[in-house]
């Protein structure tokens, strides 16, 4: 059995590639999901050290599988996530344009604050604040929409991949499979060898099952990565906000 995964809400993007595929990240879904597909895709938490030791003693064959990598590296995953990034390019450009506009106004305020009268300064400050609020709302809405659609794609692929994984595990005599999508200590596996990993054969088998052709030559499979954070230790927004200028004291 394997876990159902969804894209993390904290997934973030950079200015250069607002919705870049290389920054996708998956996290465990709520265990209370009630659909048959979700039930079939869930698995108990990692066994205790004592249970793992007992399994080894009893000769249980243990393997590892990077579930999120299997999703992203599959032909279907690469195709669908690249299509999603293309879909959001207009929104990326829109947010970039708004960020540039705010940045220009802040530079204007910084350069002219000693020359502007109080009324003009107040008007410019309020204009910046209104545009910043609009930018923040648009950014949050776009981020939520994007990550929700990422999750739908990931779960769709995982639902179809789950029976194949179960069959591979049964056919090859595995008694226990650990998911290595999360690095230790967040994940259950501290160290594992390449001989234990079944990610590649699962991807190859799923590509055959799905019938989706491999991406064009030169296309690179997206690699999931943990989201970066801003200097303030908060998730970065889809577009980096222009540096704040301190309004003049009234």
3-state secondary structure of 236: coil
> Does residue 41 have a pLDDT over 90?
no
**Range picked from 49-58, 133-142, 182-191, 210-219 for highest mean pLDDT:** 133-142
Q: Is the dihedral of CA 158, 162, 163, 168 positive or negative?
A: positive
**How much is the pLDDT for 9?**
31
Quick one: DSSP state of residue 29?
A: P
The predicted structure's pLDDT at residue 191: 80
Which residue in the block uniquely carries the two structure tokens 């590296």?
73
Which DSSP letter does residue 249 get? Answer: P
Q: Of 110-124, 132-146, 194-208, where does mean pLDDT reach its minimum?
A: 110-124
Q: Which two tokens stand for residue 143?
A: 């981020």
What's the whole-number mean pLDDT along residues 16-38? Answer: 33
- The Cα 115–Cα 122 span in angstroms is 13
Compare 208 and 18 and report the one with higher pLDDT: 208
Q: How many CB atoms lie within 10 A of CB 179?
A: 20
Whether the CB-CB separation of 143 and 237 falls below 8 Å is answered with: yes
- The predicted pLDDT at position 58 comes to 53
The helix (run of H) or strand (run of E) holding residue 179 is strand 174-179
Nearest CA among 153, 189, 229, 185 for reference residue 63: 189
What local confidence, expressed as pLDDT, does residue 62 receive?
92
Q: What CA–CA distance (Å, rounded) separates 92 from 85?
A: 9
Q: What's the whole-number average pLDDT of the chain?
A: 72
First-last CA distance in the chain? 63
Alpha helices in the chain (DSSP H): 36-41, 49-57, 67-73, 75-87, 89-112, 118-171, 199-210
Domain ranges across the chain = 5-210
**pLDDT-based confidence at residue 217 (cuts at 50, 70, 90):** low
Q: Could you read off the pLDDT of 172-208 as tens digits, one per residue?
A: 999 999 998 888 887 788 788 888 899 999 999 999 9
Rounded to an integer, the average pLDDT of 117-121 is 90
Using the predicted structure, report yes or no on whether residue 94 has a pLDDT greater than 80.
yes
pLDDT at 232 over 60: no
pLDDT of residue 6: 40
pLDDT digits (tens, 9 = 90+) for 53-85: 444 445 689 999 999 999 999 999 999 999 999
**Where residue 48 falls among pLDDT bands split at 50, 70, 90?**
very low
More confident residue, 209 or 246: 209
Percent share of the chain, pLDDT over 90: 50
Q: What are the structure tokens assigned to 6, written together?
A: 């969804």
Structure tokens at 149: 């659609």
38-60 exposure pattern, b = at least 16 Cβ within 10 A, e = fewer: beebbeeeeeeeeebeeeeeeee
């Amino acid at each position: 059995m394997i876990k159902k995964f969804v894209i993390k809400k904290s997934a973030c993007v950079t200015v250069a590639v607002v919705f870049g595929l290389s920054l996708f990240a998956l996290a465990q879904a709520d265990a209370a999901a009630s659909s048959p597909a979700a039930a079939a895709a869930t698995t108990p938490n990692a066994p205790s050290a004592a249970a793992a030791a007992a399994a080894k003693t009893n000769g249980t064959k243990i393997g590892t599988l990077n579930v999120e990598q299997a999703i992203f590296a599959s032909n279907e995953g690469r195709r669908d996530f690249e299509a999603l990034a293309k879909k959001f390019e207009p929104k990326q450009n829109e947010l970039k344009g708004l960020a540039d506009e705010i940045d220009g106004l802040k530079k204007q305020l910084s350069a002219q604050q000693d020359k502007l009268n109080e009324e003009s300064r107040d008007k410019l400050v309020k204009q910046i604040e209104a545009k910043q609020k609009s930018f923040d709302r648009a950014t949050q809405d776009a981020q939520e929409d994007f990550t929700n659609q990422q999750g739908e794609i990931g779960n769709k692929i995982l639902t179809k991949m789950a029976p194949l994984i179960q069959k591979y595990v049964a056919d090859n005599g595995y008694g226990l499979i650990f998911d290595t999508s999360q690095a230790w200590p967040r994940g259950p596996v501290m160290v594992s060898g390449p001989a234990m990993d079944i990610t590649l054969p699962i991807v190859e088998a799923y590509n055959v099952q799905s019938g989706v052709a491999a991406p064009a030559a030169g296309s690179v499979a997206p690699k999931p990565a943990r989201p970066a954070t801003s200097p303030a230790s908060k998730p970065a927004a889809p577009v980096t906000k222009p540096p704040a200028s301190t309004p003049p004291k009234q």
